[in-house]
């Protein structure tokens, strides 16, 4: 038996196993980022965590931290999240928490969302003065 025939089969099996394990190890992606968006009279100090699986197309977002208000006009500060869903390209932008002025300080935020067949892309958080998205500060992308 030639040396090539002797080692060809074990080498091919190892290459296939290596490819499968590499694919499984990189299938799901997850990250967490600290964010501190502000507007003229309030802000948010917190974190955004997202998971996405390019194979199953399942995605999750979790946002937590503290929202605060320094006497905003209209009485409230709103924390907004925006993202685009893939596949499909549907853009969503909506408030997830509000805080009225309080001399005692911050309002806790603990929000999550998951989609069984879509991933989240272009995730941004921002602080606004109105529930309709007026008076916003600069968005912070993750």
Domain ranges of the chain: 28-141
Among 10, 13, 50, CA closest to 30 = 50
Which range has highest mean pLDDT (10-14, 23-27, 57-61)? Answer: 57-61
Q: Give the model's confidence band at 52: pLDDT under 50 very low, under 70 low, under 90 confident, else very high.
A: confident
Q: Give the model's confidence band at 1: pLDDT under 50 very low, under 70 low, under 90 confident, else very high.
A: low
Query: ∠77-66-91 over CA atoms, to 5°?
Result: 60
The CATH number fitting domain 28-141, selected from 2.40.128, 1.10.1060, 2.60.40, 3.30.420: 2.60.40
Q: Give the model's confidence band at 27: pLDDT under 50 very low, under 70 low, under 90 confident, else very high.
A: low
- Coil vs helix vs strand at 25: helix
pLDDT for the residue 9: 55
* Residue 3 burial class via C-beta count within 10 angstroms: exposed 0-12, middle 13-18, buried 19 and up: exposed
- Coil vs helix vs strand at 105: coil
pLDDT higher than 60, residue 17: no
Q: Give the model's confidence band at 6: pLDDT under 50 very low, under 70 low, under 90 confident, else very high.
A: low
Token code pair at residue 39? 């507007």
Q: Give the model's confidence band at 23: pLDDT under 50 very low, under 70 low, under 90 confident, else very high.
A: very low
pLDDT for the residue 78: 95
pLDDT for the residue 28: 66
Q: What is the pTM of this model?
A: 0.77
Residue 142 DSSP class? -
Token code pair at residue 117? 């067949």
């Amino acid at each position: 038996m030639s040396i090539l025939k002797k080692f060809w089969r074990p080498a091919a099996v190892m290459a296939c196993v290596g490819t499968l394990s590499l694919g499984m190890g990189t299938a799901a992606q997850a990250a967490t980022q600290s964010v501190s968006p502000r507007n003229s009279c309030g802000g948010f100090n917190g974190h955004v965590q997202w998971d996405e699986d390019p194979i199953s197309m399942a995605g999750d977002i979790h946002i937590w931290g503290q929202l605060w208000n320094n006497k905003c006009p209209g009485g409230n500060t709103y924390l907004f999240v925006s993202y685009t869903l893939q596949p499909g390209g549907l853009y969503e932008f909506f408030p997830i928490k509000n805080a009225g002025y309080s001399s005692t300080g911050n309002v806790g935020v603990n929000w999550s969302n998951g989609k069984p067949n879509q991933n989240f892309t272009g995730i941004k958080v921002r602080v606004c003065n109105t529930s309709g998205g007026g008076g916003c500060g600069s968005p912070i992308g993750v």
